């Protein structure tokens, strides 16, 4: 019995392997040339109501019809895309990707270079943001869609009660955290979340870190460096003192704490109002937005948490039309307005300020909300992501999870050493040249 089906199995297995091999060696698709050709494009995005935005485009461009395929979020969409690229088919024409994922996607040959098609919209974006889609090269791999400049959100009633002002510097923030926690031991001005590597990256960016860098033909990794160490030991110090919490964000517990007034501040980004509206709805009208606390108040800087760009995949047969669409989507004033109102994103384009006039609903009595956000996005410090951001982020989760649990400031800075080593080892192991 056993001997009779083994050959069959072997044949089937071989067939599977050969199909896999045949697919992966397929060449880049040919470009369509006929300008009047009717094309339909698929677009993977997780922003809400994006089909409303594309409907406006479809109405004006009968020959280029875009269909939105809603994704669960940044991580699952990237995993799906990489699988499709590996399989040789199944990728969409147009893909939304967070800035930190772009190097990974480019290095997996998932995003096409569209410098020729969209190079002209470069001037409509802040230089720091544009750098994120070129990776410092001549190529352009995507067009920036939204950005997430860091801002500080706090309960103005609690600050008033304690006689505090919105913190201008990180020293102010530490003092405020201590005062609030002393006055009411149940209250914290914030928490250090070991599950949110993106926020920590933004904080490091603000302090002047840039974790990856290109050095000729080699990558450099600069995680365990003074700028990031300063940030890690600052937060470690606050956790060790016990004046801020050490539990992760985005848990049912954290939601409850925001809502019942035990978490009274949040270092977050421009999109925070949407989150607060969901988690802290009972506290509406009590929150205020402010610029980030600074390391050096004379030279204000900020980092980013979140934000994404839209690119054309290497499997698209209609690169030109797809590029046309994403240029319109992210720089045309009409589209920006739709992005802001329908999809609830904070557009990365310089013109964003023009379309965002009234504050978000949760901050309806703070008319200068978008003025603060606009100021913040101008202060974005440059930051380069590398090809293995996910490795660094999962190393962050593990190392800082332990550190936060131990409540020792020293453990926070030691965690950076672990992150640095894990990230460098991974690059070397994949065959990248690593400088320094």
Partner 1 sequence: MSLITEAAPVEVATPKPPAPRRRKAGGTPYAFLAPALILFAAFLAAPIVYAGYLSLRKVKVSGLGLGSKARTEVWAGFDNYARSLSDPDFLPSVGRIGAYGLIVVPTMLGLALLFALLLDANRTRAGISRVARVSIFLPYAVPAVVASLLWGFLYLPRVSPITDAFEAVGLTAPNLLSSDLTLWAVANIAIWGGTGFNMIVIYTALKAVPSSLYESARIDGASELSIAWRIKIPIVMPSLVMTFVFSLIATLQVFAEPMTLRPLANTISTTWTPLMKVYRDAFARNDLYAAAATSVVIALATFILSFGFLKLVGRRAFDQED
Question: Taking CB under 8 A as the rule, does residue 397 contact partner 1?
Answer: yes
State the nearest-atom distance from the C-beta of 76 to partner 1, in Å: 9
Residue 40 vs 429, nearer CB to partner 1:
429
Q: Is 13 in the site for partner 1 (CB under 8 A)?
A: yes
Convert residues 74-93 into a mask of x (bound to partner 1 by CB under 8 A) and - (unbound). Answer: -----x--x-----------
Stretch that binds partner 1, among 14-22, 264-272, 280-288, 369-377 (CB under 8 A): 14-22
Residue 222 interacts with partner 1 (CB under 8 A)? no
Site string for partner 1, 235-264 (x = CB under 8 A): -----------xxx-xxxx--xx----x--
- The number of residues making up the chain comes to 436
316 binds partner 1 (CB under 8 A): no
If one asks whether residue 16 binds partner 1 (CB under 8 A), the answer comes out as yes
Q: Quick check: 430 binds partner 1 (CB under 8 A)?
A: yes
Q: Considering only CA atoms, which of 339, 387, 330, 364 is closest in space to residue 105? A: 387
Residue 404 as a binder of partner 1 (CB under 8 A): the answer is: yes
Q: What is the greatest pairwise CA distance in the chain?
A: 84
CB 313 within 8 A of CB 85: yes
The three-state secondary structure class of 185 is coil
Can you read off the two tokens belonging to residue 377? 């996005």
212 binds partner 1 (CB under 8 A): no
Cα angle, residue 288 at apex, residues 159 and 210 outer, rounded to 5°: 100
Q: How many CB atoms lie within 10 A of CB 87?
A: 14
Between 329 and 392, name the residue whose CB sits nearer to partner 1.
392
Which residue in 30, 34, 217, 365 binds partner 1 (CB under 8 A)?
Answer: 217
Nearer to partner 1, 340 or 419 (CB): 419
296 belongs to the binding site for partner 1 (CB under 8 A): no
C-alpha 365: how far from its chain's center? 28
C-alpha 289: how far from chain center: 20
**Pick from 321, 303, 304: nearest CA to 312:** 321
Q: What residues form DSSP beta bridges with 266? A: 153
- Least separation in angstroms between residue 117's CB and partner 1 is 17
Write out the two tokens for 385. Answer: 């992501």
* Strands (E) located in 351-394: none
Query: Could you count the other beta carbons within 10 Å of the beta carbon of residue 298?
Result: 5
Question: Shortest approach of partner 1 to residue 1 CB, angstroms?
Answer: 9
CB of 75 to partner 1, least distance (A): 8
Paired with 153 in beta bridges are: 266, 289
Binding of partner 1 by 49 (CB under 8 A): no
How far is Cα 50 from Cα 203, in angstroms, rounded to an integer?
A: 30
CA distance 38 to 22: 30
* Residue in 58, 214, 230, 240 binding partner 1, rule: CB under 8 A: 214
Lookup: tokens for 34: 């006929």
Q: Residue 422 and residue 347: Cα distance in Å, rounded?
A: 34
Could you tell me the smallest distance in angstroms from the CB atom of residue 79 to partner 1? 5
The two tokens of residue 27 are 């060449």
Contacts (CB under 8 A) with partner 1, residues 94-153:
103-104, 106-109, 113, 135, 137, 139
Chain residues binding partner 1 by CB under 8 A are: 4-5, 8-9, 12-13, 16-17, 20, 28, 79, 82, 103-104, 106-109, 113, 135, 137, 139, 194-195, 214, 217-219, 246-248, 250-253, 256-257, 262, 314, 387-388, 390-391, 393-394, 397-398, 400-402, 404-405, 426, 429-433
């Amino acid at each position: 019995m056993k001997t009779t089906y083994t050959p069959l199995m072997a044949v089937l297995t071989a067939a599977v392997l050969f199909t896999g091999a045949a697919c992966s060696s397929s060449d880049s698709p040919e470009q369509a040339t006929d300008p009047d050709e009717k094309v339909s494009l698929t677009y993977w995005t997780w922003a809400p109501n994006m089909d409303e935005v594309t409907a406006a485009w479809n109405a004006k461009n009968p020959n280029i019809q875009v269909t939105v395929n809603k994704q669960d979020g940044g991580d699952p969409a990237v995993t799906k895309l990489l699988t499709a690229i590996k399989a040789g088919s199944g990728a969409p024409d147009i893909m939304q990707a967070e800035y930190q994922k772009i190097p990974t996607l480019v290095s997996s040959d998932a995003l096409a270079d569209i410098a020729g098609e969209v190079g002209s919209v470069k001037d409509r974006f802040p230089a720091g943001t544009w750098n994120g889609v070129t990776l410092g090269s001549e190529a352009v791999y995507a067009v920036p869609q939204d950005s997430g400049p860091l801002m500080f959100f706090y309960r103005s009633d609690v600050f008033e009660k304690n006689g505090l002002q919105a913190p201008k510097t990180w020293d102010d923030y530490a003092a405020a955290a201590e005062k609030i926690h002393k006055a009411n031991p149940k209250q914290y001005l914030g928490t250090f979340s070991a599950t949110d590597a993106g926020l920590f990256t933004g904080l490091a960016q603000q302090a002047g870190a840039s974790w990856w860098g290109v050095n000729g033909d080699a990558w450099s990794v600069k995680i365990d460096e003074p700028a990031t160490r300063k940030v890690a030991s600052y937060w470690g110090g606050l956790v060790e003192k016990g004046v801020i919490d050490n539990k992760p964000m985005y848990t049912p517990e954290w939601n409850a704490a925001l809502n019942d007034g035990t978490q009274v501040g949040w270092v977050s980004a421009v999109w925070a109002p949407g989150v607060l509206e969901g988690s802290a709805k009972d506290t509406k009208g009590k929150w205020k937005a402010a610029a980030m606390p600074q390391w050096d108040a004379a030279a204000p800087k900020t980092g980013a948490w979140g934000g994404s760009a839209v690119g054309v995949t290497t499997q698209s047969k209609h690169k030109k039309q797809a590029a046309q669409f994403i240029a319109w989507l992210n720089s045309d004033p009409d589209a920006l307005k739709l992005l802001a109102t329908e999809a609830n994103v904070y557009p990365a384009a310089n013109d964003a300020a023009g379309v965002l006039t009234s504050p978000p609903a949760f901050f309806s009595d703070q008319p200068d909300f978008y003025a603060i956000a606009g100021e913040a996005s101008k202060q974005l410090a440059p930051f380069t992501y590398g090809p293995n951001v996910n490795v660094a982020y999962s190393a962050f989760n593990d190392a800082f999870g332990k550190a936060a649990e131990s409540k020792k400031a020293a453990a926070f800075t030691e965690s950076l050493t672990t992150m640095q080593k894990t990230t460098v080892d991974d690059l070397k192991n994949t065959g990248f040249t690593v400088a320094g």
